[in-house]
Amino acid sequence: MIVTALATKDATGLKQPSTSNEVAMASRHEDAAMGTDAAVIATNTATVDAATAQVPALPPTEIAVDAAEKTTPAIKTDDIETECRGYQAAQKWNEFEQCAEKLQPLDPKRAAEIKIVALEEAKAASRIAAVEAALRDKALKQAKAALDQVWPRSAGYASIKRKYDDAEAQAIPDLAAELERVKSSDCVAYNALLAKERSLKPAHVTAEATRRIPCSPPTCIGDAYAEKGQEHYAAGQFPAALASYEAAYACRAVPQWAEKALIISCNLTNLAKAKLHWKRLPSSMKSRTLDICLRNRISEKMLNGP
């Protein structure tokens, strides 16, 4: 008997095996295909495993850190701080301030401190130069004013302060020696020098110098000098009489004593002295002494001359 194989279709419209032979053949084809795929998968898996075994396993974080270190070296705060200290030690204040900019992102507080120091040091440098210039001119008062403006924490403060103190200490004996040199009985040159030095030096310097070398003119008794002058004149001692009347006038500017000195100067034909005392007389007194001077060949034109 011949069995006719009729093919049937399932709900999807695909042709399904309708006989046992077809079913068996289909099953064998499917097993073969699955076997081939499994073999390929196994081969690929073995290749990947072999390649992986040759690379040491590293945690993801370590790989990332290693890559970062090779591309951009980390900037350390201590390294920049060391650089800044080097500029400070060399007193390179511009570079010191610029170093603060590098430190700003890492340590803003320290960067701000460095900027302040750099600014103060720059100002201190110019003021120290002003102190040194004033010391060269021996203008201690000006030097002290500049020194008072120098930042006490600056690198050069201690040195310039010591320099000023030494100059001030030396100024006292130097001024005392000068006062001793110009000192005289009338203290005119002494007081002139002292007035000049008071404009240049601190008050305690001039005070100490004058304490060491005082100048007190003797008590001047004009009347006593005038009496002496009269005695010398009566005795015909004209040079001594002139000196006495001049001393009297130096004590007290009495016109009559200047008149006596003028008369004696004309008698001595001393034109320089006569001109000096002529200028001291008021106009009302000049006419009565002029005849005496004319007798000694000293004219009014000569008395008024340069």
Q: Which domains does the chain have, with CATH numbers?
A: 222-304 (1.25.40)
The tens place of each residue's pLDDT in the chain, 306 residues long, gives 333 433 444 444 444 444 444 444 544 544 444 444 444 444 444 444 444 445 454 455 444 445 444 444 455 777 677 777 777 766 676 676 667 676 667 667 777 777 777 677 878 888 999 999 999 999 999 999 999 999 888 888 999 999 999 999 999 999 999 999 999 877 889 999 999 999 999 999 999 999 999 998 767 788 899 999 999 999 999 999 999 999 999 888 899 999 999 999 999 999 999 999 999 999 888 888 888 899 989 998 999 888
Q: What is the pLDDT of residue 156?
A: 86
**Pick from 113, 112, 80: which is nearest to 99 by CA?**
80
Structure tokens at 49: 């495993």
Angle at 269 between CA 266 and CA 273, to 5 degrees: 65
Displacement of CA 238 from its chain's centroid (Å): 66
Global model pTM greater than 0.75: no
**How many other β-carbons are positioned within 10 Å of the β-carbon of residue 175?**
23
> Where are the strands (E) in the chain, listed by range?
8-9, 15-16
Burial 194-214 (b: 16+ CB within 10 A, else e): beebeebbbeebbeebbeebe
Burial class (CB in 10 A: 0-12, 13-18, 19+), 83: middle
Q: What is the pLDDT of residue 103?
A: 63
